[in-house]
Amino acid sequence: MDTPLRNVRPNIVQSIRAFRVPDLQSAAQELAHHFLYANLAEAQSKQDVLDMIATQFTFPVQSGKNFDALSDSLTDPLYKSGAQPGFVVVLEQIPAHAKFDKEAREQLLDIFRDAADFWGDRKVPFRCFYSFL
């Protein structure tokens, strides 16, 4: 496999660093993995972040209610819908300001870390890449 993901652990949440979004999307397509992308540059609050992720990931409306609902949307319903090939997730430009402070950012990334663990336990790759605004 000659993709940008060849040296990336299958279940991880990490900074996007030198990866480019189009390359990650192509790698997901080559691997037949789900590609979930959210650009959060316009988010001003925790609720904005949740709403934008739910909308851009095309999750049900209730996914944008709180962190627990987002967590549930990343795990159980997908698992119950059948075998999953894998996931490549990009959270671009997570806000870094007073209304979405360090604690909120860590809570958000913890949800994706928990999802990576959930899928790892099921031998399904879940790679999440993020950047801050």
Task: List, run by run, the mean pLDDT of 10-residue segments along the chain (133 residues).
Answer: 81 95 95 96 94 92 84 86 92 93 96 97 97 92
Instruction: Determine the pLDDT at residue 95.
Output: 96
Instruction: Determine the pLDDT at residue 2.
Output: 61
Instruction: Determine the pLDDT at residue 103.
Output: 94
CA separation for the pair 127, 11 (Å, rounded): 5
Cβ(118)–Cβ(72) under 8 Å? Answer: no
Domains and their CATH numbers in the chain: 13-132 (3.30.370.10)
Task: Please report the beta strands in the chain, taking only residues with DSSP state E, as ranges in sequence order.
Answer: 11-15, 34-39, 87-94, 126-132
Instruction: Determine the pLDDT at residue 82.
Output: 83
The pTM assigned to this predicted structure is 0.93
